[in-house]
Amino acid sequence: MHISVMGTGYLGATHAACLAATGHSVVGIDVDPARAAQLSLGRAPFHEPGLDRLLDDGVSSGRLTFDTRPEGAHGADVHFLCVGTPQAPAGGAADLTDLEAAVDSLAPHLDRPCVVVGKSTVPVGTARRLADRIRAAAPAGDAVALAWNPEFLREGRAVSDSLRPDRLVFGVDREESDRALRHVYAAAIGAGVPVVRTDLETAELAKVSANAMLATRISLVNLLAEVCEASGADVAALTEILGLDERIGHRFLAPGLGYGGGCLPKDTRAFVARAEELGVGASAALLREVDAVNLRQRSRTVELATSMLGGSADGATVAVLGAAFKAGSDDLRDSPALAVATALQGLGARVRVYDPMAGASVMRHFPRLVTSRDCEEACAGAELVLVLTDWDEFGGLDPVALSTVVARRRVLDARLMLDAEKWRAAGWHLVALGRGGR
């Protein structure tokens, strides 16, 4: 099929490359000339394992092109909307400005029957409003169908999640939309990926509801960890017990610094905002508390770090290991690690940051933070080391070797990455979230 992808950020670039990899002819449209130019060279403007290879293959084969002009999408059978919907500057609602602008730029070029497919995460009810907006402006009018096909990508695993998803959701109200989507995803469906066909509203709710449930689980286990820390209980043993309950399972039961990134925080807040608009805000209060517990993990980590420094961070040299919101990514959006690093800097600490992938982004967006080339450089002369992102590299650090470069052997493990017995045997004072001094 001939497909256009409106927006080539994290979602759009990955989606376009993976569609081209399955044999479709794809054009990615983006308003940013620098981004379009870089993608045209087969290189992603962000880190995602395996994506550069797919981009290069797609561009080299001619199946994948990029353009800055909306008319570049003319003639496509299917148009995917992959534009970001960030949190609005005021309040927790989703900002649909860029999505609406993309729709308005695309609609005048829809002069033949086609399907416009939303993949962006939006408040429930958005799709039907956009359908009216598109058809009113499109030369083809009612011959333009609109569907919703939410994404479930995990940063660090986005390529495999796109090529081998665990489910496909088709929110459709016309048979031709369902047929088109089944053609687009024929390879995945042929490999046995289940398809859930539903209405537009349910499809809109699918991604944000999944994120709300994940956020709730993460915040709940962090609440349990804080209770364990206060009472002297062992959160590791507690989560093992809970994980053996088949109704609960082991996944996402690891306590720590909390969630961040471009999806869970803003999607949870947007869900609450939309629930309030629909008149069910009282029940959505649960998710407001989920968000509060998550943010509390950051301030609690700063408090613990300050306590380990003797009650004041002013003038202390602190090494922060990790800047990205999660391992496998260079994404700094709503990063708990950076929130802690900047808070300690605000308290007067001399903060040095090391991240295996996000160092360049930290230098660009947080120039006041000192960025180090490796763990040893970050930890040189440090009075406290903080492990704030769950990179495997940090779990494999040698506490004996590291003790020769730090000023004080004190470490705060906010991701439960370190072997506590091994580090304490090497003379380190180790504190782990949820375990205190255990």
Tell whether 139 and 20 lie within a shared domain.
yes
Inter-residue contact 10 to 51 (CB < 8 Å): no
Tell whether 286 and 141 lie within a shared domain.
no
Give pTM, 2 decimals.
0.91
d(CA 26, CA 4): 6
The pair of structure tokens assigned to 117 is: 């497919």
Tell whether 277 and 396 lie within a shared domain.
no
Tell whether 215 and 278 lie within a shared domain.
yes
Q: What is the per-residue pLDDT for 248?
A: 95
Residue 31 falls inside a structural domain: yes
Indicate the residue among 257, 291, 325 that finishes a domain.
291
Tell whether 129 and 235 lie within a shared domain.
no
Specify the CATH number for the domain of residue 359.
3.40.50.720
* Domain count across the chain: 3
d(CA 80, CA 89): 26
Indicate the residue among 291, 308, 337 that finishes a domain.
291
Tell whether 323 and 368 lie within a shared domain.
yes
**Positive/negative CA dihedral, 198, 203, 205, 206:** positive
263 is catalytic: yes
Residue 36 falls inside a structural domain: yes
Q: What is the per-residue pLDDT for 388?
A: 97
Tell whether 273 and 328 lie within a shared domain.
no
Expressed as residue numbers, the domain containing 279 is 208-291
Tell whether 18 and 73 lie within a shared domain.
yes
Inter-residue contact 163 to 3 (CB < 8 Å): no
Residue 438 falls inside a structural domain: no
3 state SS of 308 = helix
Backbone angles phi and psi of 282, in degrees to 5: -60, -45
Residue 203 falls inside a structural domain: no
Tell whether 86 and 106 lie within a shared domain.
yes
d(CA 229, CA 214): 23
The CB density around residue 365, as the number of other CB atoms within 10 Å, is 12
Tell whether 179 and 75 lie within a shared domain.
yes
Residue 377 falls inside a structural domain: yes
Specify the CATH number for the domain of residue 261.
1.10.1040.10
Inter-residue contact 335 to 362 (CB < 8 Å): no
Inter-residue contact 272 to 281 (CB < 8 Å): yes
Indicate the residue among 244, 275, 291 that finishes a domain.
291
d(CA 179, CA 189): 12
Inter-residue contact 264 to 214 (CB < 8 Å): yes
Residue 309 falls inside a structural domain: yes
Tell whether 224 and 157 lie within a shared domain.
no
Inter-residue contact 340 to 164 (CB < 8 Å): no
Alpha-helical runs (H) found in 244-391 = 264-277, 285-308, 336-346, 359-365, 375-379
d(CA 426, CA 430): 11
Tell whether 67 and 161 lie within a shared domain.
yes
Q: What is the pLDDT along the chain (438 residues), one digit of tens a residue?
A: 999 999 999 999 999 999 999 999 999 999 999 999 999 999 999 999 999 999 999 999 999 999 999 999 999 999 999 999 999 988 899 999 999 999 999 999 999 999 999 999 999 999 999 999 999 999 999 999 999 999 999 999 999 999 999 999 999 999 999 999 999 999 999 999 999 999 999 999 999 999 999 999 999 999 999 998 889 888 889 999 999 999 999 988 888 999 999 899 999 999 999 999 999 989 899 999 999 999 999 999 999 999 999 999 999 999 999 999 999 999 999 999 999 999 999 999 999 999 999 999 999 999 999 999 999 999 999 999 999 999 999 999 999 999 999 999 999 999 999 999 999 999 999 998 877 555
Q: What is the per-residue pLDDT for 436?
A: 58
The pair of structure tokens assigned to 14 is: 């990955």
Residue 215 falls inside a structural domain: yes
Q: What is the per-residue pLDDT for 159?
A: 96
Residue 437 falls inside a structural domain: no
**Catalytic pick from 18, 114, 228, 263?**
263
Q: What is the per-residue pLDDT for 438?
A: 52
The pair of structure tokens assigned to 92 is: 């927790």
